[in-house]
Amino acid sequence: MSVSAAFIKAVEPATKPRKRAQAEEPEKQVDEQQKTARFLPREHGATAMLFTPMVCAAILARTWNWMELAAFAAAFAALAAKDPMVILARQQLVWKTPHAETPVAARWFVAWMLVLATSGLVLLFTWPWKATLALGLGVGVFSILAVLVNVKNRQRSTLFQIASAVALTSSSLATSLSATGAIQNWCWWLWLFLALQAAAGILVVHARLDARIALRNPAKATREFRRKAQVAVAVMGAAAATAGVLHHSFVALALLVAVIGYAYDLHSQRDASDLQRPLTSVGQRALALSSAVSVLLIAGLW
């Protein structure tokens, strides 16, 4: 045997395990990251849609009740429990082998369900039982729907996102119940206007995404979401005009601000340079618009 052959034979057993170890190292890092994952709400848009109506309702209630904290805790727990529920559902329905994040998700799910159950029991003693049953049933049905949609990777469905906006903005009803013991008339209007504004915003964002795709590939250009967004903006404009005729000036102004903001966004989508704007910046602008609308709605419904 030559010297070179002997050297290769001597080194080979040492180099192969080292290469295997180097290949396995990223997998171990991923497993460690999955084992230390924290299941907290990650979707900033959904979080804003959930808690903005609650803050608005808390201000409009013109009173304070400690039950409002229980409502906030229940809402946060219900939102946070969704991601671990999705992991557990995928483990049962999709994945063939156990995943490292599944036990972590199970622990977080149990923790959030304990928070939700505790908050729910506190609210059960103060809310009317019919309202408790209706809201509880709504939360349960929507949670199951959200899990199934995520398992099937259909979470970007426009219809689902609009349904989510309607469901999340209904959190104002829980705050009204906690603060006053009933769902006040102004709360129904608050829910309607915030849900309408959120739905229009979702369509405008989808129109922007379509425009960005068309900018890169003109063959895939479509105006479907642009037309839907224009219809939503027109509906908001009609609502603003109606509120103005009925002398609800601040409500009309709130809706008009939303109309102007979304109409400007749709107009700016014709500019290629604006389409290059980072989506983070777009989200921040949408959050600022939503905050301005919320403040004006509070003034209008006061």
Over residues 80-96, the pLDDT tens digits come to 999 999 999 999 888 87
Across residues 145-166, what is the average pLDDT? 90
Residue 15 covered by a domain: no
* Residues 141 and 195 both lie in one domain: no
* Residues 70 and 165 both lie in one domain: yes
Q: How high is the pLDDT of residue 4? A: 44
* Residues 95 and 142 both lie in one domain: yes
Q: How high is the pLDDT of residue 2? A: 46
Q: Are 193 and 300 in contact (CB under 8 A)?
A: no
Q: Are 80 and 112 in contact (CB under 8 A)?
A: yes
Q: In the predicted model, is pLDDT for residue 76 greater than 90? A: yes
Q: Are 79 and 50 in contact (CB under 8 A)?
A: yes
* Residues 74 and 95 both lie in one domain: yes
* Residues 178 and 243 both lie in one domain: no
Q: Which amino acid is at 281?
A: S
- Token readout for 133 is 């049953």
Residue 66 covered by a domain: yes
Q: How high is the pLDDT of residue 32? A: 52
* Residues 207 and 179 both lie in one domain: no
Residue 25 covered by a domain: no
Give per-residue burial for 232-249: e unless 16+ CB within 10 Å, then b: bbeebbebbeebeeeebe
Q: Could you say which of 183, 202, 225 is where a domain stops?
A: 183
Q: Are 86 and 147 in contact (CB under 8 A)?
A: yes
Which of 88, 14, 208 minimizes the C-alpha distance to 200? 208
Q: In the predicted model, is pLDDT for residue 211 greater than 70? A: yes
Q: How high is the pLDDT of residue 11? A: 43
Q: In the predicted model, is pLDDT for residue 200 greater than 90? A: yes
* Residues 139 and 193 both lie in one domain: no
Helix (H) / strand (E) containing 87: helix 82-93
Q: Are 23 and 264 in contact (CB under 8 A)?
A: no
In the chain, pLDDT over 90 holds for what percent of residues?
55
Q: How high is the pLDDT of residue 163? A: 93
pLDDT band (50, 70, 90) for residue 3: very low
**Any idea how long the chain is?**
302
Per the prediction, the chain carries an average pLDDT of 86
Residue 244 covered by a domain: yes
Residue 28 covered by a domain: no
Q: Could you say which of 163, 183, 203 is where a domain stops?
A: 183
Residue 10 covered by a domain: no
**More confident position, 48 or 2:** 48
Neighbour tally for 164: CB within 10 Å:
24
Q: How high is the pLDDT of residue 273? A: 86
Across residues 215-233, what is the average pLDDT? 84
Q: Are 260 and 164 in contact (CB under 8 A)?
A: no
Q: Could you say which of 138, 168, 183 is where a domain stops?
A: 183
Kindly report which listed range (11-25, 27-41, 231-245, 274-288) carries the lowest average pLDDT score.
11-25
Q: What's the domain count of the chain?
A: 2
**More confident position, 248 or 8:** 248
- Token readout for 173 is 């009803």
* 28/7 Cα distance (integer angstroms): 32
Q: How high is the pLDDT of residue 39? A: 81
**More confident position, 44 or 79:** 79
Q: Which amino acid is at 254?
A: A
* Residues 153 and 220 both lie in one domain: no
| CA angle in degrees (0–180, nearest 5) for 14-18-21 | 145
Residue 1 covered by a domain: no
Q: How high is the pLDDT of residue 36? A: 61
Q: How high is the pLDDT of residue 222? A: 77
Q: How high is the pLDDT of residue 7? A: 36
> Which residues span the domain enclosing 245?
185-302
pLDDT band (50, 70, 90) for residue 17: low
Residue 170 covered by a domain: yes
